[in-house]
Structure 1
Amino acid sequence: MRILVVHAHPVASSFNASLFRMAVECLSKSGHEVDAIDLYEDGFNPVMSEEERLNYHDLDANRKPVETYVDRLLRAEALVLVYPVWNYGFPAILKGWFDRVFLPGVSFGLVGGKVRPTLHNIGKILVITTYGGSRFRSWLMGDPPRKIANRMLRATVRPGASVTYLAHYEMNLSTYKTRHSFMSRVERALDNI
Structure 2
Amino acid sequence: MRVLVLFAHPVETSFGAALHRTVVAALEKAGHMVDDVDLYAEDFDPRLSRAERLAYHDVDADRSAVAPYIEKLKAAEALVLVTPVWNFGWPAILKGFFDRVFLPGVSFRIENGKVKPTLRHIRKLAAVVTYGGTRWRALAIGDPPRKIVTRVLRVQIKPGAPLSYLALYDMNRRSDAERAAFLDDVRRRMEAF
Name the TM-score, length of structure 2 as normaliser: 0.98
| Mapped contact 2:80–2:126 kept (Cα < 8 A) | yes
After superposition, the C-alpha distances for 1:91-116 in whole angstroms (9 at most, x for unaligned) are: 00000000100000010000100000
Report the equivalent of 2:70: 70
For 2:188 and 2:125, locate their aligned partners in 1 and report how far apart those are by CA, in whole Å: 14
After superposition, the C-alpha distances for 1:31-64 in whole angstroms (9 at most, x for unaligned) are: 1111101000000000000000011111111532
Gaps of 5+ in 1: none
Report the equivalent of 1:39: 39
| Mapped contact 1:89–1:145 kept (Cα < 8 A) | yes
Report the equivalent of 1:121: 121
Report the equivalent of 2:82: 82
Report the equivalent of 2:28: 28
Report the equivalent of 1:191: 191
Alignment RMSD (CA, Å): 0.9
2:91 is matched by which residue type in structure 1? P
Name the TM-score, length of structure 1 as normaliser: 0.98
User: Once the 2 structures are TM-superposed, how far is the Cα of residue 192 of structure 1 from its aligned partner?
Assistant: 2.2
1:30 is matched by which residue type in structure 2? A
Does residue 1:5 correspond to 2:5, yes or no?
Answer: yes
After superposition, the C-alpha distances for 1:14-36 in whole angstroms (9 at most, x for unaligned) are: 00001001111111111111110
Aligned length: 193
What's the secondary structure of 2:56's corresponding residue? coil
What's the secondary structure of 1:42's corresponding residue? coil
| Mapped contact 2:26–2:188 kept (Cα < 8 A) | no
State the structure with bigger RCO (CA 8 A, min sep 6), 1 or 2. 2
Q: Structure 1 pair 62/185, CA: closer, same or farther in 2 (3 Å)?
A: farther
What's the secondary structure of 1:96's corresponding residue? helix
Report the equivalent of 1:141: 141
1:139 is matched by which residue type in structure 2? L
| Mapped contact 2:30–2:192 kept (Cα < 8 A) | no
Moved more, 168-177 or 145-154: 168-177
User: Once the 2 structures are TM-superposed, how far is the Cα of residue 191 of structure 1 from its aligned partner?
Assistant: 2.0
Report the equivalent of 1:170: 170
| Mapped contact 1:127–1:166 kept (Cα < 8 A) | yes
2:188 is matched by which residue type in structure 1? R
2:109 is matched by which residue type in structure 1? G
1:95 is matched by which residue type in structure 2? K
For 1:161 and 1:107, locate their aligned partners in 2 and report how far apart those are by CA, in whole Å: 16
1:129 is matched by which residue type in structure 2? V
Moved more, 108-117 or 177-186: 177-186
